[in-house]
Amino acid sequence: MQSVERALDVLEALAEYGGEAGLSEIAARTGLPYGTIHRLLQTLLARGYVRQESDRRYALGGGLVRLGGVAEGMVGVWAQPHLTRMVELSGETANLAVLEGDFIVYVAQVPSPRRLRMFAEVGRRVLPHSTAVGKVLLAWRAAEEAVTLLERTGMPRRTPNTITAAPAMLDELGLVRDRGYALDLGEEELGVHCLAVPVRDGARVVAAMSVSGPADRIDALDRDELARGMLKIADAFGAELSPAAGG
């Protein structure tokens, strides 16, 4: 069991470094001896869960894609009753999204019962800087990690309301942490507003849940009250995802 736990520690360390890290970085994050890490990496390399780059750094491998795809689909199924509660709470479309690499991916949705409603196609990939779910998934990461990601994506302008500078986005992410939820006020698409809250697996923010709809309907809602209700639902979903929930 200890070997399994240590192998998972190594994979999680690679994920926390954005999917790629050197031996010293993995050691610093896990506290494991170099020899132990090297042995674990050799096993993970052989199974395709890790690959070694030309500069001898290690990166998450393609073997995780198959597992991740199946797990992502299951999480989407588990989220459905919680998203339904968010629709009942807000009257608007509810979404579940995760951060994969530099992109936000929508993995589940329950549509609003209203005729005029928003759709974010399941499987759709968008950049994080212009979405409420993206802001949530960046807000609880280290500032340098968020900036590095934003520099890679370039923060393209989606609408006149899009935040396109990293310093301004760091200020925005600070607001998200302070109030506990994020807003997209026509930053991804004009006329569409969105409110998102974090889903926590223990101490980590692993996903974001949101409601989205026409700007006038979202603006008519009490944001703080809506966010409190959404956070209760997201916390209940996060408790199901937590390792402690299985035992």
Cα 30 to Cα 42: distance, rounded to the nearest angstrom:
17
Please report the pLDDT score of residue 64 as a whole number: 62
Please report the pLDDT score of residue 247 as a whole number: 43
Please report the pLDDT score of residue 246 as a whole number: 46
Sheet holding 192-201, edge to edge: 125-126, 103-110, 93-100, 204-214, 192-201, 182-185
- Strands 103-110 and 50-52 turn out to be unpaired
What percentage of the chain has pLDDT greater than the value 90? 60
Locate all alpha helices (DSSP H) within the chain, ordered by sequence.
Answer: 2-16, 23-30, 34-47, 63-90, 132-139, 143-153, 166-179, 215-219, 223-241
164-197 pLDDT tens trace: 999 999 999 999 999 999 999 999 999 999 999 9
Question: pTM score > 0.85 for this model?
Answer: no
Cα 48 to Cα 213: distance, rounded to the nearest angstrom:
42
227-246 pLDDT tens trace: 999 999 999 998 887 654 44
Q: What share of the chain is helix, strand, coil (3-state, %, to 5)?
A: 50, 20, 25
2-54 pLDDT tens trace: 788 898 899 888 888 877 889 999 999 999 999 999 999 999 988 888 888 87
Predicted confidence band of residue 74 (pLDDT cuts 50, 70, 90): low
Q: Which long-range contacts (CB under 8 A, 24 or more apart) does 30-39 make?
A: 30/6, 32/6, 36/6, 37/10
